[in-house]
Structure formats: structure tokens, C-alpha cells
Structure 1
Amino acid sequence: MTFDPQELGQSSSDLAAILQELRKRAGLSGVQLARRVSMSQSKISKIETGRVIPSLVDVELILRALDAPLDLVAHVTALARLANTEWQDARALRRKGLDRKQIELTTLERSTIRFRYFLPTMITGLLATPEYVRASLAPFPGDHTKAIAKKLERQDVLYESSKQFSFILTEQACRWPLVPAQAMAMQIDRLVSVSRLPNVRIGVIPMAGHMPWAPLNVFTVYDESLAIVEVSTGALVFRDPRDVQDYLDEFLTFEGYALWGENARVKMGGWADHFRDISQDF
């Protein structure tokens, strides 16, 4: 199906109303439907009142239990897909203030235990030096003082031993010269340093050998419940378990092509030395 970005995440009330109407047409109470689909009556009630967004699997179970017509199955499944997907427009985020986005991410990071970052284009804020953070925001107009401060504050989460982080960066992401050569060397040195934290894994995929899988987008998976996929004009937020699992599977694929531990540190150290050599030539 084709997504209209303005509809993403806005169809949950329509979905709730249709599911409730279908149950009533079938002559079933909430308790009876709950028994048929092995859910609690409380969950059925929350789905029908829009307090809980059902997954695609939940919706399929309910539709089968209600013997919904095929044309309605297609429509309701599409609504469920939209309800489980949110579009975050980059222009709207910038108008609100980039520091607001950092506050949202801080809240999300506070409730997450397992983080997986796939970074094919550039280094994420959690791993960035102050100079790199400033450079990453420089193309956007306005005063980014607050946003920079919030980005750097967020890095404290890396030192919470109860949380686990896995970062996969391509060689391009590590070596893209967003800042001058000496600053790039310091940035890569930071990657090496952070990779020694006991709860942080940093893998790198060198531009060498055969790579039969081509990355398309930056994405982050929070636990097994949420995936955020970044594009140049914004971000898609996926909550349906099957969508999230697709990104977990993709991450696992790239894990197999990455260097980890000391092998990764040796490779990154060579890249940092390259930038130091360049800086000495000027």
C-alpha cells in the first residue's frame, strides 16, 4: 500500500470505531470476542476505545473471529498499518526547535534497555564529539545552542550499565569528513574509546571485499518494540511487531559483515591516523 504521510499515525480512532462496530454486528460482547481471540476483555475494550493501538496480528485475529467480509478485511488491515506507523516531518521538527526533539529522544532512551543503531551515512549524536555535533546542525538556520547541549547531555545514557548498545557504522559513516581532518581524527578516537565501555558494542563495515546486501537507510531499534527509520525529509516510526522484526533481521544481517572488538578498534585507529596525517600536511 502507499502511505500518505499526513495519515500516518492518525487512523487509530477510525480503526477503533470500525472494530467495535464489526463486533456489534457479529452479535458478540467484548467478553465473547476476547475468548475467541485469546485476549483479555480489558485489552479488547482498550482497542475499541482507542487507548491501545492493536498490532496487525491482533487485528487479523479479531477480523477472523468476526468473519469480516474480504473487502472490509483489506480496509481495516490498511488502517491498522497506518495506525502503527508515524511520520515525523523534519521541517515541522525544526520549526518547533531541534532541542524539543532531543527531549523526546531522552524520554525514549530512559525507558529502553536494548539499543541497536545502524549508521550507513554519518555518526550519531550519542557517539559524536562537540565539534561534530555542531557541524551536523550547521546546515540548518537558527541558534542551535540548546539542541547541541541536549545532544551532548544525552550521551550520559551510554554510561548506564543496565542498558546495552550496539552500533554498526559503515566505513563511509566513520570517514565522511564532516569536520576538518584533526577533528575527524578526534571523532574516530572517541568511537574507539566508547567501544571499550562494557555495555557498548561498536562494529564497523569496511569498504572491502564482497557485500551482497546494500543498506538503504539509517535506522534505530529500541528494545523489540519500536523502529525509527530516518530519511532526509523526516523519520518513519514503526510500532507493529512484524515491521520491527524486519529491522531486527536487517541489523542481524549487517552484524555478520561488521568487524567488532579489537578488530574494529584497529581498523578505526588506522582511519584516525589517516586524518592525523592529512592534518599535518597543512
Structure 2
Amino acid sequence: MTSSSSVQQAREALGKRLREIRKDSGLTARELAARAGWHESKCSRIENGRTGPSDHDLRVWALLCGAEDRTADLIATARNIDGAYVEWRRMERSGLRRAQESVIPLWERTRKFRAYSSWLVPGPLQTRAYIESLLRSIRDRRALPDDLAAAVQVRVDKQRILYEGPHRFAVLLEESALRHRIGGAATMAGQLGHLLSVATLPNVSLGVIPLSADRTALWPVEDFWIFDDAQVNVELISAFLTITQPHEISMYARTFLGLADLAVYGAPARALITAAIESLG
């Protein structure tokens, strides 16, 4: 499945709904396009999920098909699809600070966080030096406006949810995430030491999946966050994916449980972190 397949599936599902509305009205696709003043292929592109309809398209569609009572729901569905797959360049066009700030309301209202990472220590558990190294790399690689100091401070300030309110965190890391050097040996040693510290918090469960784990049934997957049972976020190379379909959230929740069964906790997890520190020399 491609990274944006769930978005495409949602567009196709909306297209099927629109096709049913058109057929119920007795109109052919060609007749609807003619009455709307569209190119005759536009209805087909929309119904097959190849073209996303605008708000105006949906209003016209519902009006001509005698289904004006469905207009608001159709528009809300389309907007949710459009917001699910957001390219980084769109989110970060004014710099990194705004992208960091955009998720604060979600983090503040979430009570149960589940996070899986195969390549980085997740944001709430990061040190300032680790954050700065990560965001500097993103800034330089994507040629973004330089608001690094402000973006770092937003992420550091956001970590207050670790210590305030009824927030619980279940974090799973592949052992490889402990070995990927971010910011040099000193920064990485500080980060791993901090990880040992935050793992002792009563509201944090930290599991590490050893490199020696048998991955026959479940191999490493894309990094993801589950916020309560309401939303999943996945960070892709090109975009930020938001998943709100209940059946897809359930798939990620089941995957998290499977990964959790592969992880070690407590003293064995601390031993893997300590070994990663020692490997820094």
C-alpha cells in the first residue's frame, strides 16, 4: 500500500457516493456535465476518484441531482479528505515554528498517546540539543525560512504535557533508533541518558524492540502516533498524513499491540539503552 493510499481510497469512496446520487436522480454523467457546464469527462474523473471536487462542484452536483440536503455532508467529507494528506512544503512554507504549533491543540486534548519509531526518539522524549539537531537538518534540507530557535522552543515547551495533566504515554522504539546518531556523540549520549530518566516517569511506558527479535510475523513499519482512539499521524518523506477512519485507526492499534509484544521493558530495555550509550565511545 502506498503512503497516500488511504487518501485515494477515501476519494474513491466519495466518488461512489456521488455516482449513486447521480443515478438516483436519473441523470447520466454526460447529462449532468452538460447541465453544469462542465467538460463531459469531469463527472467520470470525480466519480472514479481521479479528481477531487471543489465545494462549488459539490453544491452544483447536489442541486442538479435534487439532493441539496446532502450538500453540507458532502462538502465536510471532501474537506476532511483534502486535509488528510498535507505536503511538508505547504505546512512549513513560513518556517518550522508554525508546523510545531499546529499540533499543540491535539496534544493538549489527548489523554492516551501511543507512539512507534524505528529511526528517532519521539518528540516529547527529546532533549533540546537533539531537537535542535533534527530541526536544523530539516530546515537546511528543505531550504526553509530560518526560525530555528523559535521552533525549538515551541517543541521544548510542548513537553510540559509529560509532567502536567492526565496524559499517558506508551512508546515503542526499535533498537535501531537508539543507534542512529543525531547531532554527534555528545548530543546522542545526552539524549539516551535523558531517555533513561523519562522512562522512570509513572505515566510513561517505554519498550524497546531488540535487533534480535524474530520479525517473521511483524516487521518494522512506518513511524506513527495514535492519539486516543481518534486519530493517527504518520510522518512521510513528502507529507504529513492524518488518519481518522475508524477501521484504519484500529489497524494501527492492532499493529501497535503486535509490536509491543516484541518489545522488552524495564531492566532489559535499560540495558539496551546503556549499551547504545557505551557504543558511542
The answer, yes or no, to whether TM exceeds 0.5 is: yes
> Residue 99 of structure 1 is aligned with which of 97, 100, 107?
97
Instruction: Rate the CA distance shift 1:226–1:23 in 2: closer, same or farther, 3 A.
Output: farther
171, 174, 179: which is aligned to 1:167? 171
Structure 1 residue 190 displacement after superposition: 0.7
1:243 is displaced (CA, Å) by 0.6
- Matched residue SS, 2:115: strand
Matched, 1:120 2:125: no
CA positional deviation for 1:269: 2.0
What is the aligned partner in structure 2 of residue 186 from structure 1?
A: 190
C-alpha deviation, 1:255, in angstroms: 0.1
Counterpart CA distance in 2 for 1:237 and 1:167 is 19
TM-score for the superposition, normalised by structure 2: 0.71
Which one of the candidate residues 94, 105, 108 is aligned to 2:106?
108
Identity of aligned residues (%): 25
Q: Say if 1:225 and 1:263 are closer, same or farther in 2 by CA, change over 3 A.
A: same
Could you say what secondary structure the match of 2:84 adopts? strand
Q: Secondary structure at the match of 1:137?
A: helix
Q: What residue in structure 2 maps to residue 70 of structure 1?
A: none
1:49 aligns with 2:86: no
Residue 155 (structure 2) aligns with: 151
Alignment map for 1:64-143 (pairs within 5 Å): 83=81, 86-139=84-137, 140-141=139-140, 142-143=146-147
Supply the distance in 1 between the matched residues of 2:239 and 2:20 (Cα, whole angstroms): 33
CA distance in 1, matches of 2:268, 2:3: 42
| Cα separation, partners in 2 of 1:226 and 1:271, compared to 1, 3 Å | same
Aligned partner of 1:86: which letter?
A
Structure 2: segments with no counterpart, 5+ residues: 27-67, 141-145
**Aligned length in residues:** 231
Residues 1:94 and 1:84: Cα distance change in structure 2 (over 3 Å): closer
Which of 237, 241, 249 lines up with 1:236 in the alignment?
A: 241
Question: Cα deviation per residue 1:15-74 (whole Å; 9 max; x = unaligned)?
Answer: 7x9499579859xxxxxxxxxxxxxxxxxx9975239957xxxxxxxxxxxxxxxxxxxx
Contact 1:226 1:238 in 2 (8 A): yes
- Do the aligned residues in 2 keep the contact of 1:8 with 1:86 (CA within 8 Å)? no
Q: Cα deviation per residue 1:165-217 (whole Å; 9 max; x = unaligned)?
A: 01101111112011221221111111111111111111111111422222231
Distance 1:255 1:48 in 2: 43
CA positional deviation for 1:231: 1.3
In the TM superposition, residue 107 of structure 1 has moved relative to its aligned partner by 0.9
Decide whether the 8 Å contact of 1:118 with 1:167 is kept in 2. Answer: yes
Equivalent in the alignment of 1:33:
none
Q: Structure 1's 145 and 8: CA in aligned 2 closer, same or farther, altered over 3 A?
A: farther
Contact 1:115 1:220 in 2 (8 A): yes
Q: Distance in 2 between matches of 1:257 and 1:131?
A: 30
Indicate conservation of the 8 Å contact 2:232/2:249, yes or no: yes
Correspondence for 1:269 among 241, 255, 274? 274
Contact 2:95 2:147 (C-alpha < 8 Å) held by counterparts: no
Q: Does 1:257 align with 2:267?
A: no
Consecutive unaligned residues of structure 1, counting only runs of 5 or more, are 27-44, 55-78
Instruction: Measure the CA separation in 1 of the matches of 2:102 and 2:220.
Output: 27
Deviation at 1:163, TM superposition (A): 1.1
Residues 160 and 9 of structure 1, relative CA distance in 2, 3 Å threshold: farther
Letter paired with 2:150: K
For each residue in 1:203-249, what CA deviation from the matched residue of structure 2 results, as whole angstroms up to 9, or x when unmatched?
Answer: 11111142222223111111111111111111211100001111111
One-letter amino acid of the counterpart of residue 205, structure 1: I
Say yes or no: does 1:245 pair with 2:268. Answer: no
Amino acid of the structure 2 residue aligned with 1:204: V
Q: Distance in 2 between matches of 1:3 and 1:191?
A: 30
User: 1:259 and 1:95, CA in 2 relative to 1: closer, same or farther beyond 3 A?
Assistant: same
User: Among 217, 220, 228, which residue is 1:215 paired with?
Assistant: 220
What is the CA–CA distance in structure 1 between the aligned matches of 2:270 and 2:23, rounded to whole Å? 58
Secondary structure at 2:262 match in 1 = coil
Alignment of 1:15-54 (within 5 A): 18=18, 21=21, 49-50=72-73
Deviations 1:81-140 (A, max 9, x none): x83871121122221321111112111101111101110111122111111111101222
TM-score by length of 1: 0.71
